[in-house]
C-alpha cells in the first residue's frame, strides 16, 4: 500500500487523455506539419536509396521519416478512439501507414528498392528522339 502512495505523483504524468485532447484540439496545425513532413522525408529516404548513398544516411532519413509517420498514425488513432470515422481520418491513416511501410521496405529491402528506382528512372527518361529536326518544310 505504501508503494502505491509513492506513485501518486506519476499518476498525473501517465494521463494520456490530456495528450489525446491536445492532439485533437490542435488537429489542423498538427496535420499541416505532419503531412508535408511525411512526404518530404519519405521522398528523401527513397532519393537516398535510389542514389545508392551509404546505409547510415538511409537509416537516419528513414528513422526520422518513420518517427513522423508513426506520430501521424497515432494522431489519427486518437480520433478513432472518440468515434470520429470520416474520410479525412482514413486518408491520413493511409498516408501515414504508406509512408511508414515505404520507409521500412527501403531499409530492409534496400537492394531491391534501389534496383526498382533505377529501372524506373531509366524507363521515365527514355525518349525517342527524331533522326533530324526539320523546320519550315
133 to 126, 127, 128: CA distances (angstroms)? 18, 15, 13
- Alpha-carbon distance of 96 to 66, in angstroms, equals 9
Are the CB atoms for 106 and 58 separated by under 8 Å? Answer: yes
* Confidence (pTM): 0.77
**pLDDT digit string (tens) for 25-84?**
888 899 999 999 999 999 999 999 999 999 999 999 999 999 999 999 999 998 888 888
Amino acid at each position: 500500500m505504501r508503494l502505491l502512495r509513492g506513485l501518486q505523483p506519476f499518476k498525473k504524468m501517465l494521463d494520456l487523455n490530456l495528450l489525446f485532447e491536445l492532439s485533437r484540439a490542435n488537429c489542423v496545425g498538427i496535420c499541416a506539419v505532419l503531412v508535408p513532413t511525411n512526404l518530404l522525408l519519405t521522398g528523401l529516404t527513397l532519393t537516398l536509396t535510389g542514389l545508392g548513398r551509404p546505409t547510415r544516411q538511409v537509416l537516419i532519413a528513414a528513422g526520422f521519416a518513420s518517427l513522423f509517420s508513426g506520430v501521424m498514425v497515432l494522431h489519427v488513432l486518437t480520433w478513432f478512439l472518440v468515434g470520429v470515422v470520416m474520410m479525412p481520418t482514413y486518408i491520413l491513416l493511409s498516408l501515414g501507414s504508406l509512408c511508414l511501410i515505404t520507409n521500412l521496405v527501403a531499409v530492409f529491402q534496400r537492394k531491391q528498392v534501389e534496383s526498382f528506382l533505377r529501372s524506373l528512372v531509366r524507363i521515365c527518361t527514355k525518349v525517342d528522339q527524331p533522326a533530324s529536326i526539320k523546320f519550315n518544310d
